[in-house]
Amino acid sequence: MRKQNSAADRFRFFPQLNDLPEDQKRWLGSDSRLYESAAQRFFAEDTLQNRLVRELAAARLLPIKEVLESFEFFARVRKETRATCVADLCCGHGLIGVLFAMFEKRVEHVVLADRLQPPSRLKLIEIVSQIAPWVEPKIENVQAKLTPGDGTVAIGASVVSAHACGVLSDLCIETAIESGGALAILPCCYPKAACQAPQSIVAKLGLKTAFDVDRTYRLEAAGYLVRWASIPSAITPMNRIICAKKKR
């Protein structure tokens, strides 16, 4: 059965995925490694993004969900967040930051920051370097526990982050406010105890929405203009993007 996707639910980097039957869409949000036969089937066309996906599949490096999540998040926030320097915070493998270095000429420096450095990050950079040699010279790996004002993010740099769990998303917000640069986050895990929204708002809107409404007020109060967007829900139901840019 094919269902018409809403505009927000459509894949932008990989429009070929929009026509998949519903029963095949479950794979898009799964934790299974992207494997070569699927990459040859769905990402065969000779574009830079498809070449990267095929190489990631050949190395069996990342789950399909994390690959699509990174690409579709990037597609929706790149215009507002491209800046000379972009910091991907709590970056894990770092694919989002890598996409900025790969596809945005204006981005000269990408900070990949996380308290850990998984082996997948170095492998990812090695793979990308073979098809986009301009990426590696832009990358700086920072292994540190993030605290706002610790100097990880330069003044004016943009902050991006996917799945900075719970209050790590708030840490990203405070870091962006500190730098004055643009922000884009895809929050996840909403701890009730940390939610600052009034109880009546939580009761009416639910914890996740109330939490993000409160984050929006925090950003607006700090002089930001906030936009909400989303990645396709086939990838994850935790798909809200908070994107913010300082008002002029």
Ligand X SMILES: C[S@@+](CC[C@H](N)C(=O)[O-])C[C@H]1O[C@@H](n2cnc3c(N)ncnc32)[C@H](O)[C@@H]1O
Please report, as ranges, the residues that interact with ligand X according to CB under 6 A. Answer: 66, 90-93, 114-116, 145-146, 162-165, 168
Distance CA 83, CA 81 (A): 6
Three-class SS state of 48: helix
- Smallest distance from ligand X to CB 31, Å: 11
User: Among all residues, whose Cβ is closest to ligand X?
Assistant: 92
- Smallest distance from ligand X to CB 144, Å: 7
Other Cβ atoms closer than 10 A to 213: 16
Is the CB of 202 or the CB of 232 nearer to ligand X?
Answer: 232
- Smallest distance from ligand X to CB 45, Å: 25
Is the CB of 26 or the CB of 145 nearer to ligand X?
Answer: 145
Distance CA 138, CA 12 (A): 25
b or e along 149-168 (b: 16 or more beta carbons within 10 Å of the residue's beta carbon)? Answer: eeebbeeebbbbbbbbebbb
> Do 77 and 243 form a contact (C-beta atoms < 8 A)?
yes
Is the CB of 53 or the CB of 202 nearer to ligand X?
Answer: 53
- Smallest distance from ligand X to CB 166, Å: 9
- At 1, the amino acid letter reads M
Is the CB of 116 or the CB of 194 nearer to ligand X?
Answer: 116
Alpha helices in 193-246 (DSSP H): 199-205, 207-221
Q: Which two tokens stand for residue 57?
A: 């599949």
- Smallest distance from ligand X to CB 200, Å: 31
- Smallest distance from ligand X to CB 171, Å: 7
Distance CA 95, CA 100 (A): 9
- At 127, the amino acid letter reads I
Nearest Cα neighbor of 161 from 56, 74, 101 is 74
Is the CB of 188 or the CB of 205 nearer to ligand X?
Answer: 188
Is the CB of 88 or the CB of 212 nearer to ligand X?
Answer: 88
